[in-house]
Structure 1
Amino acid sequence: MTSSTVSAAAAGTWLLGDLKVNRMGFGAMRLTGSVPFHRGIPGDRGQAMRVVRRAVELGVNHIDTAAFYFSRLRSANELINSALAPYPNDIVIATKVGPARDASGEWTTPARPDQLRGQVEENLRQLGRDHLDLVNLRIMGQDSISEHFGALAELRDAGLVRQLGISNARPEHLSQALAIAPVVCVQNRHSIDEPSGERMLRTCAVHGIAFVPFFSVAGQGHEAGAVHAEHDNVCAVARTHGVSPTQIRLAWTLQQGDHVLAIPGTGNPEHLVDNVAAGALRLTKRELQLLDSISHAGS
């Protein structure tokens, strides 16, 4: 099976509440241009839209985005809307609220609980939808999220939002949220060489909640992408399978648990195909141990 014929379904599926998705998804941040996304140079609009459409053709039905994913002249939400509307019935668009940026792209004070409705409505407008499938509350350093999550729960009850999740969260945040409304996913940083999400990954498994790691490919490069020299162990496993180190990182991510969803982002059509193909890779126990040793060496 060649990369071009691998479907996102090869990674298996998961239920986000009542929303069934393939575990290999797509992150929209890089659609807006070069990184960091908030100061990025606008990329080719046509290519960005082709990447989104191709992702869906390859079986991707879980797309992660946000209204604050924009650069000069480009908005991830608008690109998704233009590329996919009218949306396929099985597509799940996940977005985030909490952070705020002004028109110049500079970060401003995070939204108060009473401002979250405005952010939800802005996502609705940009995406051209009458409800949001999934909204993640991006936590901005606060100890208590009860008021913010409660505000989103009210929007869920009102029919503007279907499912809720949290991002950049600690276990105590998850407990606070679960006391208010169901939580279907947690988005946290986690990768082979930055295992900071390990505790939350295990906590989510206990609760049957999806764990959605971000920067799983970029690792310590964060928004700048995989700028580091690749680790020898990752390269060794990649050579064994005849694939790229990025594909090995994604395969490792998916094999951290059946509840783990991958949302790699790219604006490159060829990289997209390779990313999706990683969902069909199966690493051996020995290979997983070799990759796990990377984070253990740094602890």
Structure 2
Amino acid sequence: MPTATPSSDVTATGVARPGGSGRIAGHTVSRVGYGAMQLERLHGDRGAAVALLRRAIELGVDHIDTAQFYGDGFVNQLIRDAIRPEDGVVVVTKVGAAPDPDGPLPLRAAQRPEELRAGVEDNLRSLGLDQLPVVNLRRLDIGPGLEAEGDQVVDLDDQLAVMTAMRDEGKIGAIGLSSVTADGLRRAIPAGIVCVQNAYSLVTRDDQDLVKLCAEEGIAWVPFFPLGGSFPQLPKVTEEPAVHDAATSLGCTPSQLGLAWLLRHAPNVLLIPGTADPSHLEANVAAGAITLDDATLATLDAVPSRSVDLRL
């Protein structure tokens, strides 16, 4: 007789959550979520972008990560069009940067308290929400990407003051941190941090102590660049021979194995792999069903972590 799926592992629409269920800001969500940044690539095909988001919901994804500065509001507007209240999706957004299409990077720092407040208002408006469930404060303590200079060098306490004020006002449900050091997180924990987003993967595990600290404090660990790559200085999980060997043995792709390792590595891990391709979306979601035996896990755990300078 088949075993029923626990209610906590089923979305509001009755679909099994890929990777099982995790917690963020008091919400139960799929451990395999979706990072929406790459939807910018579908700027010329809005229908395909909306269809991709709807497909994610059909596959059991109910945790979506976004930001107003993704496509200068384009991605948030897609989410507003595609996601319905009855889908029960937790939308997590972020502040701390702003679009800069003519700059050396497509973003500029926006770290001052008044810029953080403006970023929250922009996210509320473009997503069509009265409250943002979780807002990540994108610090510039570590890379990759933007560096703070001049008046963009802002003390964390000053930033947390405006973030907690907006939480008290009801504009924010909960506060997360991104690109933060362990010392920064320790300073911020009394403010009620619910998640941390840092670059982290099987082959870049410099933040292992931070992963452990988050687990101890009940804070979700949401790694970006979960397969490395993207920036030249980041090694790629898919180029590791041990990963290829294990993937072949298990009948999955190296990318799927890298995601499965993260899910097994720590119970507080929530994944937000991004893609603009429906087949890649389905492959990422399928990684949540991969089981790693102790021998395979030991082999992957033995892969050396490469310390990298995340600054450009």
TM-score by length of 1: 0.86
- Measure, in 2, the Cα distance between the counterparts of 1:75 and 1:8: 29
Q: Report the equivalent of 1:93.
A: 91
Residues 188-225 of structure 1 deviation map (CA, whole Å, 9 limit, x = unaligned): 110111112212111111111110000002x1334999
Which residue identity lines up with residue 88 of structure 1 in the other structure? Answer: E
Residues 23-75 of structure 1 deviation map (CA, whole Å, 9 limit, x = unaligned): 11000011111xxxxxxx8453222111111101111110000011117xx82
- Measure, in 2, the Cα distance between the counterparts of 1:225 and 1:273: 25
Check 1:95–1:233 CA distance in 2 against 1; reply closer, same or farther (3 A cut).
same
Q: Does 1:16 align with 2:17?
A: no
Indicate the larger mover: 126-135 or 139-148.
Answer: 139-148
Q: Report the equivalent of 2:117.
A: 117
Check 1:126–1:224 CA distance in 2 against 1; reply closer, same or farther (3 A cut).
farther
- Measure, in 2, the Cα distance between the counterparts of 1:15 and 1:223: 32
Q: Does 1:195 align with 2:212?
A: no
Maintained 8 Å contact 1:110/1:140: no
- Measure, in 1, the Cα distance between the counterparts of 2:113 and 2:203: 35
Maintained 8 Å contact 2:49/2:78: yes
1:182 aligned to which of 173, 177, 192: 192
Structure 1 runs not aligned, ≥5 long: 1-6, 34-40
Q: Does 1:208 align with 2:206?
A: no
Indicate the larger mover: 101-110 or 90-99.
Answer: 101-110
TM-superposed CA distance for 1:277, in Å, is: 0.9
- Measure, in 2, the Cα distance between the counterparts of 1:32 and 1:97: 18
Which residue identity lines up with residue 243 of structure 1 in the other structure? Answer: C
Maintained 8 Å contact 2:206/2:305: no
TM-superposed CA distance for 1:158, in Å, is: 0.3
Spell out the pairing of 1:106-185 with structure 2 (5 A cutoff).
106-141=106-141, 144-179=155-190, 181-185=191-195
Structure 2 runs not aligned, ≥5 long: 1-14, 142-152
Maintained 8 Å contact 2:237/2:243: no
SS at match of 2:176: strand
- Measure, in 1, the Cα distance between the counterparts of 2:247 and 2:182: 34
Which residue identity lines up with residue 114 of structure 2 in the other structure? Answer: D
TM-superposed CA distance for 1:228, in Å, is: 8.1
TM-superposed CA distance for 1:279, in Å, is: 0.6
Check 1:259–1:229 CA distance in 2 against 1; reply closer, same or farther (3 A cut).
closer
TM-superposed CA distance for 1:10, in Å, is: 4.0
- Measure, in 1, the Cα distance between the counterparts of 2:172 and 2:232: 27
- Measure, in 1, the Cα distance between the counterparts of 2:125 and 2:174: 18
Q: Report the equivalent of 2:266.
A: 257
Residues 127-182 of structure 1 deviation map (CA, whole Å, 9 limit, x = unaligned): 11111010000001358411111211110110001011101111111122123x21
Q: Across the two proteins, how many residue pairs are aligned to each other?
A: 281
Residues 64-100 of structure 1 deviation map (CA, whole Å, 9 limit, x = unaligned): 00011117xx82111111212x333521000010112
2:275 aligned to which of 263, 266, 272: 266
SS at match of 2:174: strand
Check 1:227–1:10 CA distance in 2 against 1; reply closer, same or farther (3 A cut).
closer
TM-superposed CA distance for 1:234, in Å, is: 1.0
- Measure, in 2, the Cα distance between the counterparts of 1:255 and 1:220: 21
Q: Report the equivalent of 1:38.
A: none
TM-superposed CA distance for 1:293, in Å, is: 2.5
Q: Does 1:27 align with 2:35?
A: yes
SS at match of 2:226: coil
- Measure, in 2, the Cα distance between the counterparts of 1:225 and 1:267: 21
TM-score by length of 2: 0.83
**Root mean square deviation, CA, Å:** 2.5
SS at match of 1:24: coil
Check 1:246–1:257 CA distance in 2 against 1; reply closer, same or farther (3 A cut).
same
